[in-house]
């Protein structure tokens, strides 16, 4: 490859598949993408709660732990959402890239793993 051709992205993993935000009761629920969240100490597994009127982030919910092994390339270990949507009970169901499922109570801002 010529030296003047820019190389972008990571060779360790493909970018996460886009998962559209979902809106309910004036709140937008969106996967947080980007660098490590300082308060959560991780990349991936984070859900932002955004006020639809103001655009302000009200909270970030850790849906699942995504700890990194320092001996392995970091971004190769990141696990992102594969899908999310509300069920009939009003819980936000998140499935990650490894097929783990989680139920988020968006009012209480709590999470439980699902079988």
Q: Is 77 contained in some domain?
A: yes
Q: Is the residue at 16 inside a domain?
A: no
Tell me whether residue 102 is in a domain: yes
CA distance 67 to 81: 15
Assigned domain for 27 exists = yes
Tell me what pLDDT residue 30 has. Answer: 98
Give every residue of the chain whose pLDDT is below 70, as ranges.
1-13, 35-41, 68-77
In a domain, 2, yes or no: no
- Residue 61: the pLDDT is 95
Report if residue 14 sits inside a domain. no
Task: Taking the CA atoms of 99, 95, 18 and 77 in sequence, report the sign of the dihedral they define.
Answer: negative
pLDDT at residue 96 in the model? 97
pLDDT score of 35: 61
Domain residue limits at 26: 22-114
Burial of 36 per CB tally in 10 Å (0-12, 13-18, 19+): middle
Domain containing 39 — which CATH number?
A: 2.40.10
Structure tokens at 47: 């859900």
In a domain, 107, yes or no: yes
Domain count, the chain: 1
Confirm whether pTM is higher than 0.85.
no
pLDDT at position 7: 44
Strand partners, 22: 29
**How far is it, in rounded angstroms, from Cα 115 to Cα 100?**
8
- In a domain, residue 5? The reply is no
């Amino acid at each position: 490859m010529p030296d003047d051709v820019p190389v972008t992205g990571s060779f360790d993993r493909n970018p996460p598949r886009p998962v559209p935000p979902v809106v309910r009761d004036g709140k937008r629920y969106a996967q947080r993408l980007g660098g490590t969240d300082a308060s959560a100490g991780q990349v991936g597994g984070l859900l932002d709660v955004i006020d639809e009127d103001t655009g302000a982030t009200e909270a970030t919910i850790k849906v699942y732990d995504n700890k990194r092994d320092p001996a392995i390339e970091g971004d190769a270990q990141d696990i992102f959402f594969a899908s999310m949507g509300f069920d009939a009970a009003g819980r936000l169901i998140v499935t990650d890239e490894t097929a783990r499922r989680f139920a988020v109570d968006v009012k209480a801002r709590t999470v439980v793993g699902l079988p």
